[in-house]
Homo-oligomer: A and B are copies of this chain.
């Protein structure tokens, strides 16, 4: 069965992103029983392919109806108990929110911040870990509000060296499948993700991957987990059962979205582009786009240009141009980009997504289209000043 999605404006925000026709067709799969012998292998396949994307053999993936945000609840409700300490490395809006979520469950949060567009240094993190004991350390791999990429490998290995009992939580909502994440090698205990960004599927899934060490911590809790839906223990046997090819039941899974995710994961892990090539394509697309934008007079929000994410870019506008002008001019060229999200700089910057299917899909020229449109839009906006 072939299917072609309806004509539409090119969606180049940092998620949701463009998805392929086969992924949308999978999302339009006829209704299936969630306990059907035909559906269980699809769920199994999605779980297994997710492991490949994260280069992990030992961590347990969880695919649950929800959003990236639900992944924070899963971490906060399961892996830390009231009164225990969390160290949050803050590189933007999502660090604040993750801290807020941890505090909702009673964690004592210490944040290491940075000026807008910056990220905490490894030296600051090391000093903090030596000064106090933390149950978990969290960081936003790519903060969607600033486009700043954290050095996941160095953070994971630093914690392993300085405070090996601390669980390392990587918020990868805006990085899974667009930035390299080697969960096992880099000592990452939990990857928190979602379907609508690098994974190139529609939104509606909370996707997390939890190390054996983190699951053991869960076994040794002194107090019960204070959530029902966001309980790893309730979902664990379900994921294990589906992965083994047999259905399980705790709550009805979002069947169609799992068909869609599995199709996208098939393209990511078994398509013509290898995972390694995929990450390289993201880097190339990012450099090309950033160079073109800088040439026009835009400036990265990321203070150190080399800390800019590969799957998205946040850009300050040249003096005298307001976000709506550029967003509108791009909209007139059938391209959708995003306004600002970080409260301190909201009126001064715009955000672009260049990830997943848009940069690694066969025959996609989205970044070239974007660059040409941005040049033309910029010329129009500056001419009319």
Contacts and interface: CB of A to CB of B under 8 A. Distances in A.
A253 interface: yes
Given A250-B69, A252-B196, A256-B202, A17 B31 contact: yes
B5 A32 contact: no
B33 A5 contact: no
Given A69-B250, A229-B72, A255-B202, A27 B30 contact: no
A231 B230 CA distance: 13
Interface string A250-284: 11111111000000000000000000000000000
A34 B16 contact: yes
B16 A251 contact: no
Interface string A236-261: 00000000000001111111110000
B228 A101 contact: yes
A6 interface: yes
Contacts of A204: 65, 204, 254-257
Interface in A139-154: none
Interface in A21-64: 24-25, 27-36
A127 interface: no
Contact of A30 (B5, B73, B100): B5
B32 A251 contact: no
Contacts of A162: none
B252 A68 contact: yes
Interface of A is mostly: loop
Interface in A323-363: 336, 338, 341
A227 interface: yes
A267 to B, nearest CB: 15
Given A69-B251, A227-B104, A5 B28 contact: yes
Interface stretch (A7-15, A164-172, A180-188, A314-322): A7-15
B3 A229 contact: no
Contacts of A77: 227
Contact of A73 (B32, B34, B229, B254): B229
B30 A24 contact: yes
Contacts of A105: 226, 228
Nearest to A73: B229
Interface in A202-221: 202-206
Interface of A: 1, 3, 5-6, 8, 11, 13, 15-19, 24-25, 27-36, 65-70, 72-73, 76-77, 100-101, 104-106, 194, 196, 202-206, 224-231, 249-257, 336, 338, 341
Pairs of residues from A and B, 4 with the lowest C-beta to C-beta distance, nearest first: A204-B254, A69-B251, A8-B30, A28-B28
